[in-house]
Amino acid sequence: MNPDEAALLRAQLHVRGGKRRISQKKLSAGIAALHDAFIFAMQRFFLSPDYEELLNLRDNEIDFDDDYNLFIILNNRTSSIKQLRKRILNIYHR
């Protein structure tokens, strides 16, 4: 399993766990799990070679330990994200 697949799997598992915890009325644990899912989903975008060209990043620009900066980098590339969203929808609707 390569790193981007691992990040995607972690994100999916955290979403499932977060939903379950929220339904059990364990709100803080559920929110924490959903936060982790969001972080792993962002990391998956940066790790995937398919998105590297769209995001137009330099290697030294990414610090996976800094969630805030990952979000800022994604947010500053809104046109790239729109293209990325279209690509993802095309992949899942084949």
| DSSP secondary structure, 29-88, as one string | HHHHHHHHHHHHHHHHHHH-HHHHHHHT--GGG--TT-HHHHHHHHHHTHHHHHHHHHHH
Taking residues 27-45, report their average pLDDT: 91
pLDDT at 32 over 90: yes
pLDDT, tens digit, 9 for 90 and up, residues 38-77: 999 888 887 877 766 666 666 566 777 788 877 777 777 6
Residue among 11, 35, 8, 9 at smallest CA distance from 22 = 35
Q: Does the global pTM surpass 0.75?
A: no
Decide which of 6 and 75 is more confident.
6
* Domain spans of the chain, in order of start: 3-92
Span 10-21, pLDDT tens digits: 999 999 999 999
Residue 14 near residue 37, CB atoms below 8 Å: yes
Q: Measuring CA to CA, how many Å separate 52 from each of 14, 17, 24, 58, 73? A: 24, 29, 38, 9, 12
Q: Between 6 and 65, name the one with better pLDDT.
A: 6
**Looking at residue 60, what is its pLDDT?**
60
Give the SS3 label for residue 12: helix
Asked if 42 contacts 74 with a C-beta cutoff of 8 angstroms, the reply is yes
